[in-house]
Amino acid sequence: MAEHYKMMVWAAGGVAAGMVLLAAHSWRRLRGRREVYGPSKVVVVTGCDSGIGYNVALNTLEWGCSVVATCLDPDGEAPRRLSEAGAVVVKLDLRHLQQDAFKELLSALNSLKDDDKDLWCLVNNAGVMTYAHCEWQTKEMVTSQVEVNLLGLIQVTKVLLPTLRRNKGRVVMVSSPAGQVAVPNMTVYAATKWGVEGFSHALRRELTPQGGSVVLVRPCNLPANTGILALNAAHLKLMLAAAPPETREDFGVAMMEAEQVFREHFQGSDQLPLPLNDRLLACFRSAIMNQNPCLTYSAAPLPVILSLDLLQLLPYNWVDFLVAKNFYDFILSFARNK
């Protein structure tokens, strides 16, 4: 009887939470959409070699802002096109950051300031992912994800915070549904995105009293469009070669099969990306340009957003059961930001 009563309480709580979330998302649509004056603003976008960063930087130029695009390889095709479109392209490698790592970025911002263009927004987009069991991944793969997705993000934010704070500017963090619900094969990546979410919420509470703002954007289920998994097949081959005997014995076949799948489905996904869909671009435009933005944006359909929100409210053992039954994958199948 007690267990039955507990289940009824949780069910009633879930319904109530769903109604609150639905009301909250409906209210978001009623918020004002006045935008900042772009020509006087500078937006820094990290990770512009491909995918989201490239598209956000290109569109931010069209929205009237000056753009500083950071790239791992400034001589690549995407950075070249951004430069031709009017962006200032600088090299920035968020792995193994040295003391003078941000020298080129700060120099570019100082040059724009001389033209009466002030830093308004930092879009923390740079990210890498290795999709595999935590046990399979090499130390270098784990380190790279943590350095780029979390430590590098914090460091570049910290360097620009004094100017952003004084300008009452904004930080836009690119997160993921993996920062809401952690699932197998995304163990390390999810850890970094949970870190991004926590950092974002805490930083927002530091900056808001001083007139600044922090906004989270969660793209949803678009690995083929970003190139983030372009190297996963090669990574799996390296994992198999470096695996301890026990791991190779228990998972060797699964690792080889996974390598083949990624080789077939993500071959060439690191090429110049197609434009992002209108829904996702609208999220970024609101996050960057709106005078009064929402705290979070998701490009997923509303039922997917509500389902992910509710999963965060359920008991962990319930979530474990649903994830084991592929409910998470089922939800995200409706949210491909093609």
- Secondary structure of 157-208 as H, E, C letters: HHHHHHHHHHCCCEEEEECCHHHCCCCCCCHHHHHHHHHHHHHHHHHHHHHH
And the tokens for 178? 């993996």
And the tokens for 241? 């070669």
Contacts of 81 (CB under 8 A, 6+ apart): 54, 58, 272
And the tokens for 185? 């094969």
- Nearest 5°: phi and psi at 38? -60, -45
94 CB neighbour count, 10 Å cutoff: 25
Has 54 been annotated as catalytic?
Answer: no
CA 26, chain centre distance (Å): 24
Query: What is the three-class DSSP state of 213?
Result: strand
Contact (Cβ atoms closer than 8 angstroms) between residue 160 and residue 276:
no
Q: Which residue in 36, 34, 33, 56 sits closest to 45, CA to CA? A: 56
Contact (Cβ atoms closer than 8 angstroms) between residue 44 and residue 68:
yes
Contact (Cβ atoms closer than 8 angstroms) between residue 304 and residue 335:
yes
Identify how many contiguous H helices and E strands the chain contains and give both numbers. Answer: 14, 7
Catalytic residue among 189, 297, 316, 328: 189
Q: CA 264, CA 278: separation in Å to the nearest integer?
A: 28
And the tokens for 24? 């909250």
Q: CA 78, CA 84: separation in Å to the nearest integer?
A: 10
- Nearest 5°: phi and psi at 46? -95, 155
Query: What is the three-class DSSP state of 120?
Result: strand
Report the catalytic residues: 189
